[in-house]
Amino acid sequence: MINRPVHKIFLWVYALFYVLAGCNHFLSIAVYYVIMPKWLPAPGFLIYFSGILEIILGFLLLFNKTRNLASVLIILMLIAFLPAHIYMIRKAPFMLGQIMITPLIAWLRLPFQLVFIGWASYYYTKE
Q: Are 69 and 60 in contact (CB under 8 A)?
A: yes
Q: Residue 103: its pLDDT value, please? A: 94
In terms of Cβ atoms closer than 10 Å to its own Cβ (0-12, 13-18, 19+), residue 48 is middle
Range of the domain at 51: 4-124
Domain count, the chain: 1
Burial of 121 (0-12, 13-18, 19+ CB in 10 A): middle
**pLDDT per residue as tens, the chain (127 positions):** 456 787 789 889 999 999 999 999 999 999 999 999 999 999 999 999 999 999 999 999 999 999 999 999 999 999 999 999 999 999 999 998 888 999 999 999 888 888 888 877 766 666 5
* Three-state secondary structure call for residue 38: coil
- pLDDT attached to residue 115: 87
